Amino acid sequence: MDWKGVGEFIKGNAGKGVALVGSLLTGNIPGAIAAGVSMVQSATGADTPEQALQVLQQDPASMLKLKALYYANEESVRQHLEAMTRLELEDKQAEHGEQQQTIRGGDVSTDEYVRRTRPMMARQSWYATIGYIIGMELLKAAGVVSTGPVVELALILIGPAGAYIGFRTVDKWKK
């Protein structure tokens, strides 16, 4: 058991405001986690996550103490959560920037092999997918196989071509 487990319990069982203390415990910034641990330890009198979770589960008064501590330190909790979110977004932005820089570097490379590799892989992916689909349909029509192309396999084959033209993740479509 670790403090993340205690944080998950708090997020699931406390009120809206106190759930933010649970968010501190499940985050990835040491200062924020330490602030959450300090609040939980003050409310429960427990030193270990196991003891704290046990006290929170068995003593409703400890959850009320935690709520009082949250309201007393609400601004600090919100600042820690804001810092966690900002760092997470900055990390994602840096990761995306690095990926784009790598792609652009290959696209403008003076080495012809490097410059043409991604487009060549995309074309090969496209050709392989079309060949697979048409081939399997012809085999099915001729009675050699009982099923046509498998969608999952076709999607795997078309993956590099899709990535080349910009379909990198499904999460873009979820918005």
175 residues of the chain, pLDDT tens digit each: 788 888 888 888 777 777 778 877 887 777 778 888 888 888 888 888 888 888 888 888 888 888 888 888 888 888 888 888 888 899 989 998 888 888 788 888 888 888 888 889 999 999 999 999 999 999 999 999 999 999 999 999 999 998 888 765 555 566 5
Q: Same domain for 26 and 75? A: yes
pTM for this entry: 0.51
32 with 82: CB under 8 angstroms? no
160 with 122: CB under 8 angstroms? yes
DSSP state of 48: S
Q: Same domain for 76 and 138? A: no
Range of the domain at 84: 3-92
In this predicted structure, what is the pLDDT of residue 142?
95
In this predicted structure, what is the pLDDT of residue 121?
92
CA distance 39 to 30: 14
Residue 98 inside a domain? The answer is: no
Residue 40 inside a domain? The answer is: yes
Long-range CB pairs of 47-51, under 8 A, 24+ apart, other chains included? 48/1, 49/1, 49/2, 49/3, 49/5, 49/6, 50/1
Last residue of a domain, one of 42, 63, 92: 92
CA distance 154 to 82: 43
Q: What are phi and psi of 167, to 5 degrees?
A: -85, 75
Last residue of a domain, one of 92, 120, 155: 92
Q: Same domain for 75 and 144? A: no
Last residue of a domain, one of 59, 92, 125: 92
Closest C-alpha to 55, from 41, 75, 68, 73: 41
Question: Total structural domains in the chain?
Answer: 2
Residue 7 inside a domain? The answer is: yes
DSSP H helical segments within 47-150, as ranges? 49-58, 60-72, 74-107, 112-141
49 with 22: CB under 8 angstroms? no
Q: Same domain for 117 and 145? A: yes
Residue 97 inside a domain? The answer is: no
CA distance 50 to 54: 6
In this predicted structure, what is the pLDDT of residue 168?
58
132 with 156: CB under 8 angstroms? no
What contacts 160, CB < 8 A, 6 or more positions away? 121, 122, 124, 125
Q: Same domain for 8 and 64? A: yes
Residue 81 inside a domain? The answer is: yes
